Structure 1
Amino acid sequence: MMRKLMVAFVLLTVCSAPAMADRLKDMAQVKGVRNNQLIGYGLVVGLDGTGDRAPFTNQTFRNMMNQFGITLPDGVNPNLANVAAVTVSATLPPFAKVGQELDITVSSIGNADSLRGGTLLMVPLKGVDGQVYAMAQGSMVVGGFGAQGQDGSRITVNVPSVGRIPNGATIEREVESPFSRGDTITFNLMRPDFTTARRVVEAINDNLGPDMAYAHDATAISVRAPRDPSQRVSFLSILENINVEPAQESAKVVINSRTGTIVIGQNVKVSPAAVTHGNLTVTIQENPNVVQPNPFAEGETALEQNTQIAITEDPARMFKFGPATTLNEIVQAVNQVGAAPGDVMAVLEALKQAGALRAELIVI
């Protein structure tokens, strides 16, 4: 049997390009303006025999029936094939007001086969502080489905035990925002960088006047702002549309060893170095032979193994880099020899160990 190892790869390069200015709203977030996660626990009913029979589902069902004034006899376990215990999660956006609606995700926590066709009963959604911020209820939309035969065979498409309810929760409590507090608004850069922070300060001061903005560090930039909320909204609208040219990223080479993807940043350079690298190709071929005994002879038919192993070494490939080799020159050298992803990874790692690769090597 011939066995071959095929490796597919993509060499992605970020080539040098003219720097472009970005809006401040695309580079930074306003401090305190953030999402908040909500979670709840409840029951989904109306399933077509695809529910679960977990002990906590029975307990939850009993508690719900008690709230409606119905007491189940002790020792009686109801058949809950049409009920499933679920967790409900949602994201509360900033400045969300009472009465607005949220999309929610409903996930089974028991052994329910599917939530398709089910209805979520009223569930309070709580924040990390234990307060209820929304109430959820409604009929679910489930993208996955499954089918099972009497012989035990089954097929499942996507995940039928998770569903969503668009606008399935109503906000009951607002989260207090620090947006209107204090005399300043603070922007936090999504990618901390001292040069970018300095350029943001300079751009704001050039547009709004001197000493309007100042940087705390590589991430936070504070801007003096009016106290009146209506004026602060207009002021922030002007700020977030200011264009700033971000600083170039530090030199990095990112290698995904699982997929063979290699990303080389535009500032990567290589010191004078020469690398030779060759490949060994190992071929294993199985040719079993059937051995028959002579006529009228005592013996049994046997299988004789015949294994052939061949090792082929490809000619060594030479990579030669001159002083301050640029990204384009590295890519051209790799493309000219037609190197495989494993070769490129080995070369880059060897250059890093030798101190010739002027970049951070990241393997994910």
Structure 2
Amino acid sequence: MARARAHSSAEGPKEPHSVSLKVLRLSRPSLSFQHPLPTTNTRIHSKASLSYPSDQTDDGFILTPNVTLPPAFGSAYVGETFACTLSANNELAEDEASRIVKSVRIVAEMQTPSQVAALDLEPADDMDTKDGLQQGQSFQKIVRFDLKEEGNHILAVSVSYTETLIGSDAQAASGRVRTFRKLYQFVAQPCLSVRTKSSELAPREVGDKSLGPYGKARLLRFALEAQLENVGDGPVVVQQTKMNPKPPFQAISLNWELERPDGSESQLPTLYPRDVLQVAFLVEQTEGQSEGVETLQKDMKRDGRAILGQLSIEWRGAMGDKGFLTTGNLLTRRRG
């Protein structure tokens, strides 16, 4: 997990808590590597370093059927779902009979650059701790949060519990509610960088009887181009790029979703680190649609530009991690 924020030294020494908190990020494993030994000039068999020696071993293929858990926190990317498990552990010694721990409760929130959001914990039922948390037992919850902003994020976790003192007659003598709070900081960075450019095309003329028997209306048309660059550490497969047009516009994708003349299916594009993918859309005003026309005319008259809509992108990482990104409103170039 990301490093915990240190407490102030001005707080002074405190009595140790009977409950500790462990935070572990939940992420998918990766395929482990094997490096076959050279087959020449060696006294050691070339298969000695392989996880699963086989006669069909390819010396140039270093991936194995084994998976490896991440050795560290790793990178957190905008567009992905951050997930971690919160574990409250009873740290009382096994021979400790003078105290018991009950009613353990965990509360978590995520502090982003723009807001503080309370997090839902899974499972939501807290019945397990009402009867007490025995020595060595753990109380675990899972939190998930969709990363939508770049920059520093702070996971704030508060733990509260009831510590009951047991008298010599094995009855509860007194009790107190104790609580502590820990902060874990990490940085969310972009996985895909998106750059867009729009170009105005010649308008399409259609008949409009509201302008007279021979009246014609001019429907605006634009070409929208977007460059997607993988700025992350690993490869991603772009599953979908979708233009969500703002009325009165409609969008037509000019990308791999188009039907090929030979009827074959297009493979989803794979972007390795620093690879760039260019996509394009034809955005044109819908014939006969009145919704949004008045706003469009006002924007063109006042600013000389229009809002085309938003671009949505979906991708998956090498081990199937889902990612989703939606841009802000995309504007046309200002008319000269």
Which one has the bigger helix percentage?
A: 1
Q: Which structure has the bigger radius of gyration? A: 1
TM-score range normalised by the length of the shorter chain? under 0.3
Please, what TM-score do these two structures have when normalized by structure 2? 0.24
Which one has the bigger strand percentage?
A: 2
Task: Name which structure has the greater RCO, CA cutoff 8 Å, separation 6+.
Answer: 1
